């Protein structure tokens, strides 16, 4: 899982059937200390009620379709947890 921070949202009227009601969260990959990495921000669906500024764990690939409400949807990234604390 990647550590990411929610930095915004994306909206889309024209989209694949089944995606209505999904929240598209714009997320920035970060290091364990919360600093943004050089990786470009991407978009994930939200399975846990994450909000802007939250540090989250994001899964990629088929794991994204195992989360609540995403079975059978054409998505490849999902937020699966809001991180309380990282202990290094």
* Distance of alpha carbon 2 from the chain centroid: 9
β-pair type (77-82, 42-46): parallel
Interface residues for a second copy in 69-88 (CB under 8 A)? 72-78, 80-88
Q: Are 68 and 47 in contact (CB under 8 A)?
A: yes
Query: Which x/- pattern, by CB under 8 A, does the window 23-62 give for a second copy?
Result: -x-x--x-xx----x-xxxxxx--xxxx------x-xxxx
Rounded CA-CA distance 67/79 in Å is 9
Q: How far is the CB of 75 from a second copy (least distance, A)?
A: 6
Number of other residues whose CB lies within 10 A of the CB of residue 9: 13
Q: How far is the CB of 5 from a second copy (least distance, A)?
A: 12
Across the chain, which distance is largest between two alpha carbons, in Å?
43
Q: For a second copy, how many residues bind (rule: CB under 8 A)?
A: 58
Write out the residues near a second copy by the rule CB under 8 A.
1-3, 7-17, 19, 24, 26, 29, 31-32, 37, 39-44, 47-50, 57, 59-68, 72-78, 80-88
């Amino acid at each position: 899982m990647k550590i990411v921070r929610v930095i915004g949202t994306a909206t889309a009227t024209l989209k694949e059937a089944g995606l209505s009601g999904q929240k598209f969260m714009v997320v920035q990959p970060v290091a364990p200390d919360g600093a943004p990495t050089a990786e470009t921000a991407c978009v994930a669906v939200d399975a846990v009620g994450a909000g802007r500024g939250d540090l989250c764990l994001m899964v990629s690939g088929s794991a994204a379709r195992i989360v609540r409400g995403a079975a059978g949807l054409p998505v490849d990234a999902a937020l699966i947890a809001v991180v309380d604390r990282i202990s290094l």
